[in-house]
Amino acid sequence: MGLNLRLVVPLVYAVAVVVAFMISTTVGSVVVIAGALLVGLFFVLTARSRQRE
């Protein structure tokens, strides 16, 4: 399941960015910044859990 999430999370982020920019540039900018932080946090946390196993 972890591998599937590592593939799906960037795709969902990309779709969210495209849709947000279609709404407006301000919304798109907010989604880019907040989404990048969340995706980065996700990968940091999953990398730490893989090192513990």
* Three-state helix/strand/coil letters over the chain: CHHHHHHHHHHHHHHHHHHHHHHCHHHHHHHHHHHHHHHHHHHHHHHHHHHHC
Count the Cβ atoms, other than its own, within 10 Å of residue 17.
Answer: 16
- Taking only Cα atoms into account, the Rg of the chain, rounded to an integer number of angstroms, comes to 13
Integer Cα distance of 50 and 11 in angstroms: 21
- Looking at the structure of the chain, the number of domains it has is 1
Per-residue model confidence as pLDDT tens digits over 9-37: 999 999 999 999 999 999 999 999 999 99
Task: Give me the domain span that covers residue 34.
Answer: 2-52
> pLDDT: is 41 or 5 the higher one?
41
pTM for the whole thing? 0.78
